Amino acid sequence: MAARLLIALVAALALVGGGYWWGHTATDNAWQAKHAKALEAEREETAKETKRADQAAANYLTEHIDQEDRYAALNATYQDLRRRVPLVVPGPVVVVARSDPYGPDSPGPDERSAPATAVDSSPVLTLAAVRMWNGALTGIDQATGACSPASPTQSTDAACAQGSGLTLDDAWANHAANAKACADDRQRYQHLIDFLNGK
């Protein structure tokens, strides 16, 4: 009787142990299959992101080379233009007449009226200078007034040498606004870079 009980107990333990082993193996196999699926999905996502990054890098490189070529062509055009046309011309001369403290009918130390005084205003940028300024900002050579990118002739050079009405003060104000916009962009891009690197 004891032997039968012992055999039954061993058989029950064997069944429980076998069931546990089978369950553990099945669970392990299911976990491995799930893990393999997750790894495959991760590989696919990584390959997709790598392809997207490669495409973005290729696009950037193409656009960067295109921009470098455009600016090199602009530089050659503008160097040639600068040899032919000045960047600034004298501003209009304003003549101010001084009043005679004694009046026109008063006898004074000098019977003649006081001489007029010429007051020079600041230099004015030529249309060529404005054209080059705008081209440097946009990367595209465009006409400014009568100063066009057409092949150089005496008439286009004369048009480009005309005053634009803009002074060096105007150019400095525009430079300050552009520099501030560039600084703002740099700050935004740096925060984006830091965020992406942290991610």
- pLDDT tens-digit series, residues 92-149: 766 666 555 555 555 555 444 545 544 556 899 999 999 999 999 999 999 998 898 8
Structure tokens given for 172: 């400095």
Q: Is the pLDDT of residue 188 over 70?
A: yes
Structure tokens given for 198: 């942290």
pTM score of the predicted model? 0.62
Q: What is the pLDDT at residue 38?
A: 87
Angstrom distance (rounded) from CA 34 to CA 12: 32
For 121-153, give one letter per residue: b (16+ CB within 10 A) or e: eeebbbbbbbbbbebeeeeebeebeebebeeee
Q: What is the pLDDT at residue 111?
A: 45
Q: Is the pLDDT of residue 72 over 90?
A: yes
Angstrom distance (rounded) from CA 177 to CA 196: 29
Percentage of the chain with pLDDT > 90? 45
Q: What is the pLDDT at residue 29?
A: 73
107 CB-near residues (< 8 Å, 6+ apart)? none
β-bridge partners, 13: none
Angstrom distance (rounded) from CA 27 to CA 34: 10
Angstrom distance (rounded) from CA 199 to CA 84: 54
Alpha helices in 85-167 (DSSP H): 127-138, 154-160
Angstrom distance (rounded) from CA 142 to CA 128: 11
Q: What is the pLDDT at residue 100?
A: 53
For 90-115, give one letter per residue: b (16+ CB within 10 A) or e: eeeeeeeeeeeeeeeeeeeeeeeeee
Q: What is the pLDDT at residue 97?
A: 60
